[in-house]
Amino acid sequence: MGDVVSSHLDENRREMIAARTRAVMKDFGDVYQQQYAVALFNSVRFDIEGGGRPQSQLLHRKDPLSGRSIFSGGLFQYLEENHKWRNRFVSVPNTYTINLYESKTAHERGLQPKVTIDCAGYKALTSMEEYVELIDASLPDVKAKVGSNPFINCVTPFPLILWHPYARHHYFCVMTEKEQKKWHAVLQDCVRHQNNGLSEESIVQTPAFTDAIRRHRQAQGHYGTWDMMCGEPPQILANLVMETLHPELRNAIGPRLKGKMQQKQRNWMLISDAVYRQVLSQTSGHYRALIEDCEIKKGPLDARLRTDMDQIISSKQHVSSKIRALVLPKVEQLLQTSIQPYISSILEALMEPTSRGFAEVRDIFFKELVEVSKNSLNGGGKEKLGEHMERLSMLAFHPVKMQSCYEKVEQLNLEGLQQRFCVTSPSVFIGRAQILMREQMDNAVYTFEQLLNQSLESKGQDDMCKNIQRCQDRVLKKYDYDSSTVRKKFFREALLQIIIPYMLQQLSPSCSPELPRFKELIFEDFSQFLLVENMFEEVVLQSVSTDIMMAVKEAAVQRRHNLYRDSIILSNSDPSLLALGEQVDWAAKFGGDEPEGSLDGGGVDGRASEKRRKQVVSMIQLDGVPLPYESCMEVPGVEIIPEEGPETSKGKEDDRREDDGDLDSPLKSPDKVGEIRGLINPVVEMVVPKSEESQSDKTNDTKPVSGTITMEDGMQEDVTHVTTTVEDAPKKTTQHKTSSQTMVQQLLGSKKQEAGEEQQEAAVEDDTIQEVEVAVQEKQIQRISDVPTEELGSPKPKLPVATEDSSHGDSGFQSQASEELDGGELQPIRNTLNGENNVISVEDLQVDLV
């Protein structure tokens, strides 16, 4: 394939690409230096004058993903070099890059990844049909026939494709639909995070860069939103170059491509990727040099601004008034005819899905807190609380858990408004809303952690459920206020992004020729801080801001949008929160164990010495699948790929239980008379097989007794009857012994049992207990029943105390898996109920509890 690229990208064409990149970067650099001085002026003025913003009620975490990785697991990758599929171990660190390794061992040893994918500008696809449509659009003159197969044959029906308009595409596949959904959520989260690459903390470079990009594109006749404004500045600049260069190369090279339709498409993608890599390399170097040059000039500019700030502000106000007198009549006419009638429609289209998304964030957060409260009600203990809080702390960064929130916003549709207002697609607004939702979720979780930790330190661990409920109510109130403030700001910014470019496009032909004469009114010393083009745009923005603010205020009055009115301003009711510490380490605080599969091996950054990281999302493990594969010849056919392994089947069962309202939860009220009687007089029944020699000496018998039995959770129950039941049983096996004595172990919290057995039976009992001790240590847990051996591995019944819900089996955190009762040192069973202290045999027991 290398000769295809080299034959179409010879030295002359590569030099032409380099020259085009240099020209674009020179024009952009000139605009950037102008906008840098303006952004520095605005920043210094804000520092001097200050600005009032609504005070946030929720706390903000500085580094939420410290010591974390997002995801890791195995999938199949398509290698274009040899057209084969290989199994790869994938690790997604907290930088949201995708690292592909030869194997998990290579990752754990800290070796360099085979491939590192930066997802900025990509789109995650799960359908070959959608991918073929995008491929056909890349070469308009080369169309695929209806029903034709794509040039890539996936080995499973569950593909995952990363598509980019210019860069190389990446092809993966997994074995089940459940895996596909999880991986798709993770890939989308990587794309979402990388597309939000510009840091808002850089109060000079970021506004200077965005304004320079916008002004450069407007000079080329491109107004409105831009889908490729994603990634780091060098990537955005590469996209800016490719926006005009890519169509020219396609028209020049496309007709010269040879071969079948699939071969032409494949060759064009290789050529496009080579061009993009060359352009990206150039833009990275030019941007670094541009930033260094501006940083050198920053000191003198800042000193001059602070010295002459009053004169600069007065000069700006004077010139702005002159521009306003020229522009205002035209602006008012445009507003009345083309803007005001559409503001409410645009706002409604933005508010409906966005408000549903933020409401879903609140619901998911509330459900997670309910899980924590249930743990305290069921007597889960501080260890379980530590595990719950560890999972809760990463809720905002769990792509699978947050997927339902993101899907609500993806319903945003500006159909009918896009063409009129120069909106290429709503993806810019969708991505921004999803980032804000994630931030609000993390702020709510972090605030709850701090409040709960503060409550535990001051009031102790008594009445844990009440403390959790109190903290929950406080955080939800803060979330409602903050989410309202964030949404209103998002709506105002989105309306400006939609309306202002359209107004500038309409006003520029008549106003732009008049602007140069206003430069004469600006002193030369102030000219680099005051640009008439920027002041013209500010006048247009101020003219429409009033209408936008009024529209948002009117929407806030409607209850269905769940927005606070601007007149309702909450004061910070928890000033002590600002003095709280950093993120709470719940695992260390309560000694909670890490959930299984929650560790991601070291070497995320290629260093073997790096500590093992906690993993936000766990991978579905498929048992019985012959992994790893070495080539596509070894990949099994679709017909023998299992839909689910044992763990995924358990996950679906758990999900179904959760959807049915937690039917197994101890908090659910009984519906039948038998269930009510069982709660009033619970019966714990145990069946133990007995040898034929001693079986004839025992008969069924029920004896009334009085006394108490201490359960494993420390609670005491009254014993009314002890029933002995003798049943015929097959010859004992190791599995039978293990099962019977495991259930005996569940009752070892009570040492008050029936007595009066013969000496010879005590000897039989001692032998049985010794056998059980060996079996328990080997952790062979199976039910005892007269069923085939393959059915003996079904779950055992448990005591109806302190149970846990085992929903969300596909998650590495949040839900709690049912725990087996811990094995302790076995002791002989004695009867101490009526003042006696005799050793009894391990028989078929039935204990009635009240």
- Name residue 501's beta-bridge partners: none
Smallest Cα–Cα separation from 194: which of 231, 223, 224, 221?
Answer: 231
- Dist. CA 122–CA 401, nearest whole Å: 22
Rounded CA separation 161/173 (Å): 8
What is the average pLDDT across 64-92?
88
pLDDT at 223 over 60: yes
Q: For residue 113, what is the enclosing H or E element?
A: none
φ/ψ of 76, rounded to 5, equals -100, 135
Average pLDDT of the segment spanning 691-706: 51
pLDDT higher than 60, residue 458? yes
Given a cut of 80, whether residue 132 has pLDDT beyond it is yes
Instruction: Say if residue 668's pLDDT is above 80.
Output: no
For the chain, the straight-line distance linking the first and the last C-alpha, in angstroms and rounded, comes to: 79
Which pLDDT does position 189 carry in this prediction?
A: 93
pLDDT band at 438 (very low <50, low <70, confident <90, very high): very high
Tell me the average pLDDT of the chain: 74
The residue among 803, 815, 795 whose CA lies nearest residue 651 is 815
Neighbours of 9 (CB within 10 A): 19
Query: What percent of the chain is modeled with pLDDT above 90?
Result: 33
pLDDT of residue 744: 40
Residue 183's pLDDT band (cuts 50, 70, 90): very high
Residue 624 has a CB neighbour count (10 Å cut-off) of 8
The pLDDT score that the predictor gives to residue 465 is 79
* Strand 68-79 with 84-93, pairing: antiparallel
pLDDT of residue 651: 45
- Segments making up each domain of the chain, as ranges: 1-43+203-305, 68-195, 308-600, 673-849
* pLDDT score for 710: 60
25-41: per-residue pLDDT in tens? 999 999 999 999 999 99
- Residue 175, pLDDT score: 92
pLDDT at 1: 46
Just give the CATH number of 68-195: 2.30.29.30
pLDDT digits (tens, 9 = 90+) for 462-513: 677 788 888 889 999 999 989 999 999 999 999 999 999 999 999 988 988 8
- Separation of alpha carbons 4 and 257, rounded Å: 9
Most confidently predicted of 76-90, 623-637, 802-816: 76-90
Which of 356, 338, 689 minimizes the C-alpha distance to 499? 338
Does residue 18 or residue 148 have the better pLDDT?
18
Q: What per-residue confidence (pLDDT) applies to 601?
A: 36
pLDDT for the residue 584: 61
Secondary element (H or E) of residue 572: none
Instruction: Report the distance separating Cα 686 and Cα 847, nearest Å.
Output: 9
- What is the pLDDT at residue 754? 43
Q: What is the structure's pLDDT at 261?
A: 82
Handedness of CA 655, 660, 662, 663 (dihedral sign): negative
Judge contact between 533 and 515, C-beta under 8 A. Answer: yes
Task: Identify the CA nearest to 479 among candidates 382, 614, 369.
Answer: 369
CB atoms within 10 A of CB 636: 14
pLDDT computed for residue 4 by the predictor: 77
What's the pLDDT tens digit per position in 825-836? Answer: 445 555 554 445
Q: How large a percentage of the chain has pLDDT more than 70?
A: 63
Tens digit of each residue's pLDDT (9 = 90 or more) over 597-621 = 333 333 334 343 344 567 777 655 4
Q: Which residue has the tokens 């019944």?
A: 797
Helix (H) or strand (E) holding 300: helix 261-307
Q: How far apart are CA 628 and CA 569, in angstroms?
A: 59
DSSP 634: G
Q: Are 70 and 93 in contact, with CB atoms under 8 Å apart?
A: yes
Q: What's the mean pLDDT in 745-762?
A: 45
Choose from 86-90, 201-205, 776-780 the range with maximum mean pLDDT: 86-90
In the prediction, which pLDDT does 7 show? 83
